[in-house]
Amino acid sequence: MLEKKMAHVDFVTKLHKKTKRNYLERVCSDDKIECAMVAKKYGKDYWDGERRYGYGGYRYDGRWEIVAKDIIAHYGLQSGDRILDVGCGKGFLLYEFKKLMPGLDVRGVDISGYALNNAKTEIREFLVNAPAQKIPFEDKEFDLVYSLATLHNLKIFDLKKAISEINRVLKDPSNAYIMVESYRNEAERVNLLYWQLTCESFYSVDEWEWLYKQFGYIGDYSFIYFE
């Protein structure tokens, strides 16, 4: 049997590109240092405060349904499968999974108490306050583990721990999906630098791919770019 290798699979770009961003305004009009310090608390200001501190109001609008459908189809998820969202935030994507396939056993972890307390009520009981580098579940519990726009917020030593934890809780370590912020050229690098508030692992695509191999990650992956 051939060993599965990492594959680039994109589920999120279609959503990412719907948002318009003014990179110069973010870096020139506001105190970027102060904004980043507020954002890294991952509290109300980050999720539901002014745009300069983060999302500028992260409310359920159904946008994640298409992503859930694509993931269900790609991984062939079935009723009874157990899935984990690492960095689940308010749990909107997990809600879509549960709505589309009620028989799925969904779980989510996040370090933001505010996000978890303001998650969709339908799935709040399935969410746990915990960091990606210390997932509070047993070995080989999950059929699929994914993490969207989260792991780039970890420093490299915690990133290694998080990937090790993702591998640990999976029945099959190849059934994983990670999406992070990255860049392919100088323009995207500068735009990411201007826009980001919480990024700690600031790497190009080839650097991410190299790190994944060094850390023993064999799941699928993709990136969002700030074009």
Angstrom distance (rounded) from CA 225 to CA 166 = 24
pLDDT of residue 4: 60
Q: What is the pLDDT of residues 70-88, one digit of tens each?
A: 999 999 999 999 999 999 9
d(CA 27, CA 125): 38
Alpha helices (H) along 43-178:
44-48, 65-75, 92-100, 113-117, 156-169
- Judged by DSSP in three states, 62 sits in coil
For the chain, domain boundaries: 13-21+61-224
Rounded to an integer, what distance in angstroms lies between the CA atom of residue 51 and that of residue 106? Answer: 30
- Quick check: 59 pLDDT over 70? yes
Report yes or no on whether pTM surpasses 0.85: yes
**What's the mean per-residue pLDDT of the chain?**
95
Nearest to 147, CA basis, from 121, 122, 120, 165: 165
**pLDDT, tens only, 113-170:** 999 999 999 999 999 999 999 999 999 999 999 999 999 999 999 999 999 999 999 9
Query: CATH classification of 13-21+61-224, choosing from 3.10.180.10, 3.30.300.30, 3.40.50.150, 3.40.50.300?
Result: 3.40.50.150
Burial class (CB in 10 A: 0-12, 13-18, 19+), 47: buried
pLDDT at 20: 85
How far, in Å, CA of 83 to CA of 145, rounded?
A: 6
